[in-house]
Amino acid sequence: MKQKTIIIIGNGMVSHKFCEKIRKKDKVSKIVVFGEEPIRAYDRVHLTSYFSDKTLNQLYLAEQQWYAENDIELHLNNPVTAINRNKKSVISSKGLQLDYDFLVLATGSAAFVPPIPGVDKEGVFLYRTIQDLDLIKAYAIHAKKGAVIGGGLLGLEAAKALVDLGIEESTVIEFAPRLMPRQIDDSASRTLQTKLDNLRLTCLLQKSTSQVLGDDHITGLSFSDNTQIDVDILIISAGIKPRDELATACGLATGPRGGIIVDETMRTSDPAILAIGECALSNDMIYGLVAPGYEMAEVAACTICGEEKSFNGFDMSTKLKLMGVDVASFGDPFIAEPHARTILLDDAHKGVYKRLNISADGKRLLGGILVGEASSYNMLLQTVNNNMPIPADPEVLLLGEKNNSKPAGSGLESLPDSALICSCEGITKAQICDAVTNQGCDDFAGVSKCTKAGTGCAGCVPMVKDLIAHTMKQQGKYIRATICEHFNYSRQELYDLVKIHQLKSYDEVLDSVGKGDGCETCKPIVASILASLWNEMILGRGNDVVQDSNDRFLANIQRGGTYSVVPRVPGGEIHPDKLIVIGQVAKRYGLYTKITGGQRIDLFGAHLNDLPAIWEELIAAGFESGHAYGKALRTVKSCVGSTWCRFGLHDSVSFAIQIEERYRGLRSPHKLKSAVSGCVRECAEAQSKDFGIIATEKGWNLYVCGNGGSKPQHALLLASDIDSATCIQYIDRFLLFYIRTADPLTRTATWLNKMEGGIDYLRNVVVNDSLGMAETWEKEMQELVDAYECEWKVAVRDPEIRKRFVHFVNAPGEKDDTVRFETLRGQKKAADWNTLATH
C-alpha cells in the first residue's frame, strides 16, 4: 500500500476510533492527530462517573504508549487554526505546518449557550470536557443550590453530577413541556419526573430563563413568567452546535444551521477532506451519539483505503440510567394511530412506564419507550432492527411469559447472525459467537478483549453476556460464574470448599482456596457463606472487617447518619409488657417509632454510641435481633388465624412464630421473607414472600419463590394439603438448596427463574428428594437451628465488640454533632438536605 499522510483534526472518541480503524487497514501511512485539549482522548460517554467513581486515568481510551506502538503522531494542546485546500496543508496554533493526502475533520461539537443576560457570571459552567468538570468540582465545594438549563440527555447527566458533588438542592430547567423531548413521550416524562422528584431533583418544565441574577457571581435565575429561584451554581446543557468554523473558513459546504455536509462515504465537498462525528451533517442530520460516530469512522477509513462502505443513517435508540432510573427508547418511539397500534403499561405506584408501538397488522414491533424498568431493552431493540415476528399476544413483550417461566436468554437463537449487538463497535451476533466457539473466549472479559463488544456505551453488555452463555451451552460447555479474581470458583463451589475444609474465617478461606488480598466483592460473599454454614457470631474470628457496612454494626444506617433498631416480633405477636419496654426505650433515646408492613416496630434515629445500651434494655425485656440489617430471615408475617378470625382455618399465628423462631438468623444469598395466612383470603400476603404458607381444610399449602419490590412476582405452589411437620421438612430442604446453589445477592424468585425445569424441577428436588439430599439438608438445618444465638446478645456482653460502637475512636463518649433532626407529627425525623444547608 502506498504511503499517504492522513491528518485528523480533533482528538475525541470518534477521532480515536478512526485511528484504530485506519491503522488496522493501513499499516504504512503517516497518521497525525491534532487536539486542542492538553490530554489524550478519553471516554466522554461516562464523563459523569468522573464525579463519583472514576479517575481520569480510568477514562482514557488508551495508554500513552499506544500512540507510539501504532506509529501515530499526537499533538496535544495544539489545535489546527487554518486549512489551505489548494496546498493541501494545515497550520496549528503553535506554528506547525503539515501537508496531507487526506484530512479528516473530527472537531465534534460545542455547547449551545442561549443568549441569556448574565451567563458570563462566575459560577456558570458548561458541561463538555474534563476541564469543565474540574472547574465545576472546585466551585461546587462552596455551593448549596444548583441548577441545570436543559432537560435532555446531557442536561440530566449534568444534574446527576450536581447530586454526586453533594449539592443539596438541584433544579432542572427545560423549555419544552417534557424532559428528554427527543427520546420519550409526555407520559414517560411524567414518570421520569416523579422518579427524579423522589430523588430531590426539582424539574421546571416550559420555563424560559430570562436572566442570570447576581453581581460578579450567580445568586439566582429569573424566568419570563416573572418567577425566580436561588442558585449558587449553574450548568448550561441546552444542546450542541457542530464545530464547523474551520470548514467554513476554508470554503467547505456547510448546512444552513451548521454542520459540515458529507456524502454517504463521509467525503465533504472537497474529496480529499472527510468529516466524522458531531461536526458532520449527513442527510440533514447531526448525530449526537457515539455509536453513529464510530460507524462514520469505519466508513471514512474504508473510503481512504479504497474499500466500498457507506453511511446511510443510524439507529438512534438509546438506553441509560439516570440517577438509578432506567430510561430507554428504541425504533420509532412516537409513531401512533392510524400507522400503528400502541400497548401501554403505566404503573404510577411503582414508577414504571412502558410503551410498545406495534404495526397495524400486529405482526411487527416498530418502537417503544421504557422508563423505570428496561431489562428487556436489548431484545426489544433486536426485534425491531431485525424485523422479527412478535407473539400473537404482543403484551407478552411487556409483561413477560406467564409466571416468568421463560428461560433467561430465550429469543437469542432466533436472532440472525447479522444482528448488530454492539452498535458502538459494529459487532454482530456471529462475531460474538465466533469468539466463543473458535477463539477460546468463555467470559465477557475475553469476548470484550477479542471483539471490543461492550467497550463503548456498555448498553449491550447484558445481551453479550447472554449470548456467551447461550453459545457455550449449545456447545455443551460448563458455564462458571466465578466470584472475582481472588476466588476462581462460583459461590456454590466456594460454599462446598469452605464446608469440606471446615474453614471458619475469611483469612482462612483466602489462604486455603483463594489468592491475593481479597476485595469488596468477595469479602461479603465469603462472610455470608461462613454465616450460612456455621451460624456463628458474624463479628467473631476477625470476620467483622469483611461484613457489609450494615452487618458490621448490626444495624441499618439511615439518612442523616443514624441507625435503626429493629427487635424481632415473631409472627407479629407481642405482649403488652414488651410494648411498654419499646415505648420506654424510644422515649429514653429519642427514637422515631413506626409499625412496619412486616408486623414489627422499627425505631429510627439511634446514635452509633447508643446502640449497645438500647439493645441491652431490649434484650433484658426478652427481645432479640430482628436481623433487619442482614441477608437473613427478616419476618414471618401472620394474620390472626383461627384464634380470632371467624374465617380462620388454623392457628396461623402459632405456626408463624414456630417458623420464625426456627429460621431466625439464617444467613442466605439474599434476604428472606415469609408469611402464614389462616385462610385463602390471604391477609398475610403469603404468596408475595420467599416462602409462604396458606391454611386449607386439610392442612397447609406451601408456596415458594415470590417477592415484592421493584420486580414483584407471585410465589408458586410447591406442595398442597400437608401437615405442619411436613411443611417444615420441605422448607428446610428448600432453604438449604437455595443457600447452597444461588448466586450472591439473588432473591429466591430470580433463582427459580434461572433454574432449568423451573418449579417442576424444584418440586422434584424438595418433595420427591430426586437428589437424595433431603436427610442431609434436614440434619444441617437442625444444626443451624441449634447453633443460633442472638448477635446483639453476644455483642452487648462482649467488651471488645462493644468498643466498635463509637463515632470517634479518640473520644468514645462523644456523639456525632453533625446529625440534625426535624419534627414530624410529634416525632423526630432526619432533617431534609436543604435544611441541613442552613447549619
Domain of residue 91: give its range: 5-109+242-304
CA distances 106 to 75, 254, 457, 465, 554, Å, are 14, 15, 19, 32, 55
Indicate whether 164 belongs to any domain. Answer: yes
- The reply to whether 13 and 92 lie within a common domain is yes
Using the 3D structure, point to which of 446, 479, 512 is the last residue of a domain: 479
The verdict on 432 and 419 lying in the same domain is yes
Confirm whether residue 645 is marked as ligand binding.
yes
User: Residues 215, 263: one domain?
Assistant: no
Is residue 662, in this structure, part of any structural domain at all? yes
* CATH code, domain carrying 43: 3.50.50.60
Asked if pLDDT for residue 664 goes beyond 60, the answer is: yes
- For residues 290 and 102, which has the higher predicted lDDT (pLDDT)? 102
pLDDT (0 to 100) of residue 226: 94
Give the chain's mean pLDDT: 90
- Does residue 234 have a pLDDT over 80? yes
Are 38 and 148 in the same domain? no
Q: Which three cell numbers stand for residue 248?
A: 467554513
The amino acid occupying position 740 is R
Does residue 361 lie in a domain region?
Answer: no
Tens digits of per-residue pLDDT, 501-555? 999 999 999 999 999 888 888 998 999 999 999 999 888 888 887 887 788 889 8
Mean pLDDT of 713-719: 94
Cβ contacts of 175-181, under 8 Å, gap ≥ 24: 175/206, 175/207, 175/208, 175/238, 176/151, 176/205, 176/206, 177/205, 177/206, 178/151, 178/205, 179/151, 179/152, 179/203, 179/205, 180/151, 180/152, 180/153, 180/156, 180/327, 181/151, 181/152
Tens digit of each residue's pLDDT (9 = 90 or more) over 78-127 = 999 999 999 999 999 999 999 999 999 999 999 899 999 999 999 999 99
Percent of the chain with pLDDT over 70: 96
Regarding whether 513 and 438 lie in a shared domain, the answer is no
Q: Which residues pair with 261 in a beta bridge?
A: 281
Classify residue 418: in a domain, yes or no: yes
State the pLDDT at residue 409. Answer: 39
Q: What value does the mean pLDDT take over residues 223-238?
A: 94
Residue 710, pLDDT score: 64
Give pLDDT tens digits for 554-572: 988 876 778 899 999 998 9
**Mean pLDDT of the region 149-175:** 89
Query: Quick one: 117 and 104 in the same domain?
Result: no
Contacting residues for 29 by C-beta, under 8 A, at least 6 apart: 1, 3, 4, 5, 6, 22, 101
- Say how many CA atoms lie within 13 Å of 640 toward its Cβ: 6
The pTM of the full predicted model, rounded to 2 decimals, is 0.62
Q: How many CA atoms lie within 13 A of 114 on its CB side?
A: 18
Of 479, 502, 527, at which residue does a domain stop? 479
Is 434 within a domain?
yes
Query: Using one digit for the tens of pLDDT, what is the confidence trace for 245-282?
Result: 999 999 999 999 999 999 999 999 999 999 999 999 99
Q: Is 380 a domain residue?
A: no
Mark 96-123 as b/e (b = at least 16 C-beta within 10 Å): eebebebbbbbbbbbbeeeebebbebeb
Number of domains in the chain: 5
Task: Look at residue 385 and tell me if it is in a domain.
Answer: no
CATH of residue 460's domain is 1.10.10.1100
641 shares a domain with 685: yes
Question: In this predicted model, what pLDDT tens digit does every residue of 387-408 receive, in sequence order?
Answer: 898 888 888 887 764 444 443 3
pLDDT at 254: 97
Domain boundary among 304, 319, 340: 304
Cell 432506567 sits at which residue?
A: 326
The reply to whether 285 and 426 lie within a common domain is: no
Same domain for 179 and 269? no
91 shares a domain with 51: yes
Question: SS3 of 666, please?
Answer: coil
Same domain? For 644 and 761 the reply is yes
Does residue 624 form part of some domain? no
